[in-house]
Structure 1
Amino acid sequence: MSVNKVILIGNVGKDPDIRYLDNNVCVASFTLATTERGYTTASGAQIPDRTEWHNIVLWRGLAEIAEKYVRKGSPLYIEGKIRTRSWDDKSGVRRYTTEIYADNMELLGRKSDMTATPTVNPTHQMQPQQTQPENNPFGGNNSSDDLPF
């Protein structure tokens, strides 16, 4: 048995590059930065922040969501798998890149940044994250100040 699963929470490094293939399939690619915070050791040595850059690839519905909502600086939650591919450049040198093919994405930005923060599940259906008012049998809103007793 083997598992290829990646979970990242970070900030988008550039606006997504969006392409539509011949069969009208949407593909989005962008970078995502994750940062380990620096610290000071017991001996007083300063260890700086360490930022890793990840190449993210989204397909179909996820790519279309990214086209609408993802911008440089957006905080994102990404789940996916690692893929490495290679190609020969113009001078014949073999090049490699490692990418994260996302299966799931969640926008983590503030509601003020957009009207609703969509969550995208593995079936690529957009579900706005909005708090729905609970049914209150006593009427009014649900704040604790409005309790009937």
Structure 2
Amino acid sequence: MNKVILIGNLTKDPELRYTPNGVAVATFTVAVNRPRTNQAGEKETDFINIVAWQKLADLCASYLRKGRQAAIEGRMQTRSYDNKEGKKMYVTEVVAENVKFLDGNKEDRKPANNDFDPFGDPFANAGKPINISDDDLPF
């Protein structure tokens, strides 16, 4: 089983890129505090690299900012590449499958393109008419 769940704060804004095929990929790092102190009585922090793909990458790039707290659920992945000197380098990262945005003020909660709002109340419009045409119905 390969399952990772983290809660941490972003160390910088997510970096959004696109593959040559146009697939969105966002990378960012979260700082996660360890539950215990070290021998000197100090809290230690792990800095964990996160990769999100496709729509999740777009959402992370739209909503997450440096310092914001997020919960990440995903899987651990290790990959390798050869650096400029020809030395094999290994990278361990978490591939995000689900991200929850845990804090932020209302001004930060509006997406740039008025798309899905992960902070919003899913029942805010309950009982109100839905604007939908017969062409949108699957039956």
Which TM bucket (shorter chain)? 0.7 to 0.9
Equivalences for 1:1-149 in 2 at 5 Å?
Answer: 3-36=1-34, 46-115=40-109, 127-130=118-121, 132=123
1:13-38 CA-to-partner distances (Å, cap 9, x unmatched) read: 11111111122110000101001256
**Conserved 8 A contact 1:6-1:82:** yes
**Conserved 8 A contact 1:39-1:46:** yes
Question: TM-score scaled to structure 1, two decimals?
Answer: 0.71
Structure number with the bigger relative contact order (C-alpha 8 A, sep ≥ 6) is 2
Question: TM-score scaled to structure 2, two decimals?
Answer: 0.76
Mapped to 2, the partners of 1:105 and 1:113 lie a distance apart of 20
Structure 1 residue runs of 4+, over 6 Å off?
A: none
Q: Which runs of 5+ in 2 are unaligned?
A: 127-139
Count of matched residue pairs: 122
Identical-residue share of aligned pairs (%): 38
Report the secondary structure of 2:106's partner residue.
helix
Q: Which runs of 5+ in 1 are unaligned?
A: 118-124, 136-149
Asked which structure has the greater CA Rg, the reply is: 1
